[in-house]
Amino acid sequence: ALQRRSVALFEALAAEVEPERRPLFEDYLDYARRHHQVIARFGRFPHRNAVLGRPSTPEELHYLAQPDAGF
């Protein structure tokens, strides 16, 4: 729910910001959407597993091995 709210708030910001600043806010929105996708897929952020002492699932390990995974 928090990630959905984040996306909605960044959508609103991107829609309201002056045109010359819109690309920056579109980048923020993209970042929020990618976070939402990870939570929707895994229910957590796999890139935090090691620091939190959580074991990673095989699917999470596959995801983390991809370029640009883990923010």
Residue listed under structure tokens 């996708």:
37
pLDDT in the model for residue 68: 86
CB atoms within 10 A of CB 28: 15
Residue 4 has pLDDT above 80, yes or no: yes
pLDDT in the model for residue 70: 77
The model's pLDDT over 8-67, given as tens digits with 9 standing for 90+, comes to: 999 999 999 999 999 999 999 999 999 999 999 999 999 999 999 999 999 999 999 999
Residue 71 has pLDDT above 90, yes or no: no
pLDDT in the model for residue 65: 96
CA-based radius of gyration for the chain: 15
